[in-house]
């Protein structure tokens, strides 16, 4: 059974409140709604009650939505705040989001499906961010304690060694302890979906599917943390063989094609090279495929309409090139998605560096891709403009002969 969500609607216009209330009621989400017409009423309700989400109009009779958002954050209101804007109020919405709002929706687009989606996304992102912040606090506290213990050691090398060993042990135990219940939960979800215990209604099936997706996302995050830790600690075991890049690209595309079709996005592989199946790389084929699939999945995640294109090509080596004497295999992953600013591109491959968009994840996926590519003596770069999509370019040393 879906949990009951408590919602606060803040708008001085009765018709607008009625529109939001009706859309939420028709969305299929289980909700309990409170309403406020003024900033003062909203602050009073926020100080006395716990809500799962608040919808805020900018124009209020006694103040504006910006003041309300700032005051809510000063009151330590942790739940997501979604701004309802009029036509042409996108600039105001941006200011409100800078102040602490998590998303905005033009009033002209208020509809049950859109409102339900933005509500669920806002709550999911907010909860994930809280968990990430709490986890980060725990890690920072643990590292601070480790540093305090290491200050008494005579040699700096011993301090670093102890800290690294304890950090690796912590992450290994953390990922192991998280993986075990997640895998067990995944098995239980499958049994429930197969109605192994009792018949399920359609709504119960939908709830289980949502829980299963969340479980899979968390399991993927745990696995990524584990892989990043293995690379950074130097404990990652790689098996180098001759890898068929054309086959790897098609395998990754085949895996992600259902997601592309679900989002009505064209996902294709192309090559200007006459014999793309002859392009080989010497490396760990499983890890290279992981990197390519991660880039394609990332492109699909941030693309709502248009295409995601994976291009395989060959670049001859130059006279000064000592890294790839046989030339370079280039893999370009281009999308027509949200794009990113130059500021975001500067540290996009750093650990825990997340984008500013609400769909941004943990900040580990691209870092892992970068680790895999550089471990294979390759390079990775990105070019992008906001609203114009992104191009991720991977270059790996070409392999010729047996």
- Report residue 391 as tokens: 């191009």
Q: Which CATH class is domain 5-116?
A: alpha beta
Is pLDDT above 80 for 154? no
Burial of 364-375, coded b for 16+ CB within 10 Å and e otherwise, reads bbbbbbbbbbee
Which SS3 state, helix, strand or coil, does residue 85 take? strand
Pick 354 or 148 by higher pLDDT.
Answer: 148
Q: Is the pLDDT of residue 350 over 60?
A: yes
Total residues found in the chain within this entry? 402
What is the average per-residue pLDDT within 357-384? Answer: 80
Across 20-29, 143-152, 352-361, 375-384, least confident range: 352-361
What is the per-residue pLDDT for 261? 93
Q: Contacts from 91-98 at CB under 8 Å and sequence distance 24+?
A: 92/58, 92/65, 92/66, 93/58, 95/66, 96/56, 96/58, 96/65, 96/66, 96/69
Structure tokens at 115: 């409102």
Residue 105 phi, psi dihedral angles, 5° rounding? -140, 120
Q: Give the whole-angstrom CA distance, residue 349 versus residue 359.
A: 17
pLDDT of 161 reads 62
- Quick one: tokens of 184? 């067990």
Mean residue pLDDT of the chain comes to: 81
Residue 83 has pLDDT above 70, yes or no: yes
Residue 347 is predicted with a pLDDT of 83
DSSP 12-30: S-HHHHHHHHHHHHHTT--
Least confident of 105-119, 166-180, 331-345, 356-370: 166-180
φ, ψ dihedrals at 396, nearest 5°: -125, 145
Q: What integer pLDDT is reported at residue 331 of this predicted model?
A: 96
pLDDT over 70 at 82, yes or no: yes
Q: Is residue 160 pLDDT above 80, yes or no?
A: no
Where are the chain's structural domains? 5-116, 153-233, 241-399
The span from the CA of 377 to the CA of 401, in Å, is 19
Q: What is the arithmetic mean of pLDDT over 114-143? A: 81
| pLDDT bucket at 361, cuts 50 / 70 / 90 | low
Give the pLDDT confidence score for residue 4 in this predicted structure. 84
Q: What share of the chain has pLDDT > 70, as a percent?
A: 81
Among 69-73, 168-172, 294-298, name the one with the lowest average pLDDT: 168-172
241-399: what fold? Heat Shock Protein 90 (3.30.565)
CA 301 to chain centre: 8
Q: Once rounded to an integer, what is the mean pLDDT over residues 236-265? A: 90
pLDDT surpasses 80 at 400: no
pLDDT value for 357: 54
If we measure between CA atoms, which residue out of 308, 373, 381 comes closest to residue 345? Answer: 381
What CATH number matches the domain at 153-233, 3.30.420, 1.10.1040, 2.60.40, 1.10.287?
1.10.287
The CA–CA distances, whole Å, from 167 to 23, 155, 226, 240 equal: 48, 19, 12, 28
The model's confidence at residue 392, banded by pLDDT at 50, 70 and 90, is very high
**Structural Rg of the chain based on CA atoms:** 25
Using CB atoms within 10 A of its CB, is residue 54 exposed (0-12), middle (13-18) or buried (19+)? Answer: buried
Q: Are 70 and 100 in contact (CB under 8 A)?
A: yes
Confidence of residue 190 (pLDDT cuts 50, 70, 90): confident
Q: Which residue has the tokens 């370019």?
A: 393
Tokens of 3: 């949990």
In angstroms, rounded to a whole number, what is the distance separating the alpha carbons of residues 254 and 329?
21
Does residue 312 have a pLDDT over 80? yes
Q: pLDDT band for position 112 (50/70/90)?
A: confident
Q: What is the DSSP string of 259-289?
A: HHHHTT-EEEEEE-SS-GGG-EEEE-HHHHH
Question: Worst-scoring range by mean pLDDT, 181-185, 308-312, 321-325, 355-359?
Answer: 355-359
Phi, psi of 351 (to 5 degrees): -65, 135
Q: Is the pLDDT of residue 1 over 60?
A: no
Which residues, listed in sequence order, are joined to residue 379 by a DSSP beta bridge?
A: 395
Reply yes or no on whether the pLDDT at 166 is more than 70: no
CA atoms of 324 and 378, how far apart (whole Å): 9
Q: Which long-range contacts (CB under 8 A, 24 or more apart) does 133-139 make?
A: 139/170
Contact 33, 59 (CB under 8 A): no
- Does 87 score more than 60 pLDDT? no
């Amino acid at each position: 059974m879906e949990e009951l969500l408590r919602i606060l609607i803040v708008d001085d216009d009765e018709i607008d409140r009625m529109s939001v209330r009706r859309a939420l009621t028709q969305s299929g989400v289980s909700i309990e709604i409170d309403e406020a017409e003024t900033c003062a009423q909203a602050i009073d309700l926020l100080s006395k009650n716990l809500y799962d989400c608040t919808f805020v109009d900018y124009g209020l009779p006694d103040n504006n939505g910006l003041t309300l958002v700032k005051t809510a954050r000063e009151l330590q209101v942790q739940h997501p705040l979604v701004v309802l804007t009029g036509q042409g109020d996108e600039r105001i919405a941006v200011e409100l989001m800078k102040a602490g709002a998590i998303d905005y929706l033009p009033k002209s687009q208020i509809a049950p499906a859109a409102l339900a989606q933005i509500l669920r996304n806002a709550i999911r992102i907010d909860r994930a961010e809280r968990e990430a912040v709490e986890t980060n606090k725990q890690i920072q506290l643990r590292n601070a304690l480790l540093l305090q213990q290491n200050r008494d050691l005579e040699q700096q090398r011993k301090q670093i060694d102890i800290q690294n060993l304890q950090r690796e042990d912590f992450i290994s135990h953390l990922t192991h302890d998280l993986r075990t219940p997640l895998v067990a939960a995944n098995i239980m979800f499958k049994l429930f979906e197969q109605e192994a215990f009792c018949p399920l209604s359609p709504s119960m099936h939908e709830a289980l599917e949502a829980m299963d997706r969340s479980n899979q996302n968390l399991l993927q995050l745990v696995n990524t943390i584990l892989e990043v830790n293995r690379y950074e600690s130097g404990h990652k075991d790689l098996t180098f063989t001759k890898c068929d890049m054309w086959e790897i690209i098609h395998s990754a595309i085949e895996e992600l094609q259902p997601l592309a079709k679900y989002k009505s996005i064209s996902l294709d592989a192309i090559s200007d090279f006459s014999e793309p199946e002859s392009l080989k790389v010497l490396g760990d084929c499983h890890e290279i495929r992981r990197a390519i699939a991660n880039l394609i999945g990332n492109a699909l995640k941030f693309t709502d309409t248009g295409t995601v294109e994976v291009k395989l090509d060959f670049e001859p080596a130059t006279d000064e090139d000592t890294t790839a004497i046989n030339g370079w295999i280039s893999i370009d992953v281009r999308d027509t998605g949200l794009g990113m600013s130059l500021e975001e591109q500067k540290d996009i491959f750093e650990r825990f560096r997340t984008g500013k968009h609400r769909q941004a994840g943990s900040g580990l996926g691209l870092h892992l891709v970068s680790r895999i590519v550089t471990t294979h003596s390759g390079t990775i770069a990105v070019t992008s403009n906001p609203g114009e999509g992104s191009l991720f370019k991977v270059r790996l040393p070409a392999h010729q002969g047996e």
